[in-house]
Structure 1
């Protein structure tokens, strides 16, 4: 899901057929815009006008009878002496964020596959991003060059892992697989609800710590492990299986499902012929842990 630049470099260096093209875009190095996926994403974000629209709406641009572009540029020229530019845009890839696989079938072992990925990884195709930033424009922000202070994180570190844990849980998977065929459209994802857990809520700490142990392994997550206070990643298959079962059991409680409902979901969940994780022993383990947590 990430590390794409290294993969494409390997393919490029080891190509042996004349008809194999090199990679079209790279994830970083905006000094070479013709090769930079990051530059392409920044350009697209600027042209889509999300930041521009936020400024236009916040400062009553409709009353000016000017276009969005003219109104915003005039306002910023007055406040800071510079119009809106691509450098004012913050990219999703500047922060840890949740992504999920777009290609998914209801007959797969798991339909929803989500992950927190580290910064500087650009996703262009087949991987959807949950926006890590919200835009909040104030009078003071308009003086900044660039306007990065208008972007606020949508999730704390702990909330990020609570959400990815719930997205990867059996209850959410049971729900989303009723809605998809071969892809997870944005609107179907957004209409599929998860519990909104914040710090202090029951199950908040239990779920985020386990999701972080499953997600935060390897050098790319060293900084995040430190930010979370020193997470010990689960790396062996037996350990990961145990932690995932605990997370799944807690998710049933967070959704408010009683034992009968939980047993029904586990019994009705689609089985594949050769499961990697979701075998009968695993489903039984989840139910046992549900009882323990109750």
Structure 2
């Protein structure tokens, strides 16, 4: 989680590298690897899970590029969404308004049940 910051996935250098074949096996589980596209192969939103209402910013989110795998302290969107909605969601998550809303609820961890309760406008054409 500390490798990301608002709007950047390169806040710190990675310390560990993983073999993609092992990652695929772990993500697929007991199913068969048929070469299907997995979420880590797409752009997706990632936010820091470790957060505090006393930090300068409670919500820190960015767009994670394809083929980046995140640890459990950086939570990612699991479903594949279109890029416009993804960038919009990251911008909303990093806004002062969303940060204030989350700050009222979070004590130490920004888990997905807090994100699901956020009031996020819809991006419409």
1:27–1:121 Cα contact (<8 Å) kept: no
In 1, Cα distance between equivalents of 2:28 and 2:20: 18
In 1, Cα distance between equivalents of 2:41 and 2:101: 31
Which of 44, 50, 75 is the equivalent residue of 1:103?
50
Greater RCO (CA < 8 Å, at least 6 residues apart): 2
* 1:46 Cα deviation after fit: 2.4
Residue 45 in structure 1 maps to residue 45 in structure 2: no
The equivalent of 1:90 in structure 2 is 37
TM-score by length of 1: 0.36
Say which one has the larger Rg: 1
Give the gaps of 5 or more residues in structure 2.
none
TM-score by length of 2: 0.79
Tell me how large the CA RMSD over aligned residues is: 2.3
Q: Which runs of 4+ in 1 moved over 6 A?
A: none
* 1:119 Cα deviation after fit: 0.9
Give the gaps of 5 or more residues in structure 1.
9-22, 34-38, 49-83, 134-153, 201-294
The equivalent of 2:118 in structure 1 is 192
* Cα offsets for 1:59-118 (capped at 9, x unmatched): xxxxxxxxxxxxxxxxxxxxxxxxx61235432211111100001111111100000121
The equivalent of 1:213 in structure 2 is none
Tell me the matched-pair count. Answer: 117
In 2, Cα distance between equivalents of 1:43 and 1:192: 33
Aligned pairs for 1:158-197 (under 5 A) are 158-197=84-123
The equivalent of 2:14 in structure 1 is 7
Instruction: Report the CA distance shift for 1:130/1:117 in structure 2 as closer, same or farther (over 3 A).
Output: same
In 2, Cα distance between equivalents of 1:27 and 1:193: 36
In 2, Cα distance between equivalents of 1:3 and 1:106: 24
* Cα offsets for 1:188-239 (capped at 9, x unmatched): 22111211112x2xxxxxxxxxxxxxxxxxxxxxxxxxxxxxxxxxxxxxxx
* 1:168 Cα deviation after fit: 0.5
* Cα offsets for 1:25-74 (capped at 9, x unmatched): x24442xx3xxxxx2xx3343238xxxxxxxxxxxxxxxxxxxxxxxxxx
Is the helix fraction higher in 1 or 2?
A: 1
1:95–1:132 Cα contact (<8 Å) kept: no
Secondary structure in 2 aligned to 1:187? helix
* Cα offsets for 1:146-197 (capped at 9, x unmatched): xxxxxxxx22x22211111111111111111111111112212211121111
* 1:3 Cα deviation after fit: 5.5
1:27–1:120 Cα contact (<8 Å) kept: no
In 2, Cα distance between equivalents of 1:186 and 1:7: 24
